[in-house]
Amino acid sequence: MHLNRWQKIIGVVASEDPLPGMLLLFHPPFLFGYAKPVPVNFQALRSPRRDMVLMAAAGPVMNIALAVIAALAFHIVAYLPDTSAEWLADNLKNAVILNVVLAVFNLFPLPPLDGGRILVGILPKPAAMAVARLEPFGLVILIGLLIILPMLGAQLCVNLNFISGVLAIATRSIISVILYVTGNSYRGVVLGLLITRRHMPLNLTASKIRLLYEAFAALQK
């Protein structure tokens, strides 16, 4: 029992990545946060390629599910006092944005991100093996595409920030769909309440209408 406890401690320490802590010593202008990939024994799966796709998709699907739940919770805002309504609306807005951004980012088709794992699982074997070989360099490639390339473009007066642009468009599109599906399109809900007050809750004041309008407008920018 004593040995097992030490084995667990050693396992946790071995799984830590010292790189972020080492970077702090050099006082860099920015830091790129990331999580160390969780090792998975794909040979233990019944259908390695299919199950790898399902496991990789689980994270983004959960993020989208959390964003949908947060969007549905916007319907509670109208029934709260003004102070509580503002706090909840801000947090729900941030929850929707954060979860959709994480889902879109993790679906980027580059291993070790979830999108890369999904791509490896659905491509023919020769192409899948070629993509899988990129995994040790995935983080470096990602930093190059999202940070170094735009910085280089800024020096050359050329817009090389196309990857972030595509991710932003995908994020906005998914947020718009989530708001529409959950009945939270700010044009359909808030403006509708302003025009026809028949279905307005008794405590939906003008300040709450403005609060909801601003929240939904910010989500759909």
Tokens 């609306």, located at residue: 89
Tell me the per-residue pLDDT of 15-40, one tens digit each, with 9 for 90 and over.
556 655 655 566 655 555 556 666 66
Is the pLDDT reported for residue 13 higher than 80? no
Comparing CA positions, the residue from 210, 152, 181 lying closest to residue 64 is 181
Higher pLDDT: 110 or 160? It is 110
Nearest-angstrom CA–CA distance, 174 and 65: 12
> Given this model, what pLDDT does residue 188 score?
46
What pLDDT was estimated at residue 1? Answer: 44
Mean residue pLDDT across the chain: 76
Question: Which pTM was predicted?
Answer: 0.74
CA 44/CA 35 separation, integer angstroms: 23
Q: Is the confidence at residue 67, as pLDDT, over 60?
A: yes
